[in-house]
Amino acid sequence: MKIRVNPAADFPGSRPTGVVPAAGVADHPIHRRQITAKYVDSPATPWSDRVFSVKKTVQKKPRQRSASKSTCPWVKLSSTGSSLNTEDFLTFRVTRLSNAMRTNLTKPYLAQFGLSLPEWRLLALVARFSPLRFSEATLRSGMDKGQVSRTLRVMAERGLTKMKTIRPAGSRAREALAAPVMVSVTAKGQALYKSVLPVARKRQAEILLTLSESERKAFYSILDKLFAVAGGDTEDEVE
């Protein structure tokens, strides 16, 4: 498109700069873009006869940067692990993931049922394996003996579990102290467990379904392998 300049619009002896709009051009939908002017005729041509070639330039949208993928520090790994930072440690990352899931996944739905995380762990174990020994509950829950004892005491006061010491008839006082303590679930505890379990299963499924089927299979096998290496051959806490 070419536009002839109106001499009355310019100062004598000056060179036109910038945009040179034509009547009705800027308002037309097709031309609502940035317009730049370029000389076509020679500078010797009178101002009134100079013709400008109008070039429309379309402003391109900025390209969206693709999300940068974090590089895996475990790919080129030596036997000494000299390239690993502490935040790259497997134990660090697993613990961080576990803490995040406890805070953002497990605790919110347990609060709806008035349960703490230790209470839910023990309730799930006792409801499944009742009756079981106190020592077995400690081992399977992954909790220390003192915490298990305190938590079971609170649960017994709420009527969720009960404990009973098994003393053989005619046993001596010393033998009585070593007698096993059996933990069992009450009807109230069993009913609460059945109420919480579907919610817990659903929340776990929501997290697992963020992985593909092949990823879930691989992840499950990897966990089994790591458990075998670390000696984790017991059924630990349920969340």
pLDDT at 231: 82
pLDDT at 181: 86
Residue 195 domain-assigned? yes
Residue 80 domain-assigned? no
pLDDT at 110: 95
As a whole number of angstroms, the distance between CA 146 and CA 150 comes to: 6
0.75 surpassed by pTM: no
**Tokens linked to 88:** 């790259």
**Residue 34 exposed, middle or buried by CB count within 10 Å (0-12, 13-18, 19+):** exposed
- At position 188, the amino acid (one-letter code) is K
pLDDT at 220: 96
Residues 94 and 143 in one domain: yes
Q: Print pLDDT tens along the chain (239 aa).
A: 555 555 544 444 545 555 555 555 555 554 445 544 444 555 555 555 555 544 555 555 545 444 445 688 998 889 999 999 999 999 999 999 999 999 999 999 999 999 999 999 999 999 999 888 998 888 888 888 999 999 999 999 999 999 888 766 555 555 555 567 899 999 999 999 999 999 999 999 999 999 999 999 999 999 999 989 988 655 444 55
CATH number at residue 145: 1.10.10.10
Residue 74 domain-assigned? no
State the residue range of the domain holding 43. Answer: 2-57
Mapping DSSP to helix (H, G, I), strand (E, B) and coil, where does residue 36 land? Answer: strand
Look at the block and give the residue holding tokens 């509950």: 137
Structural domain total, the chain = 2
Residues 51 and 154 in one domain: no
Residues 46 and 114 in one domain: no
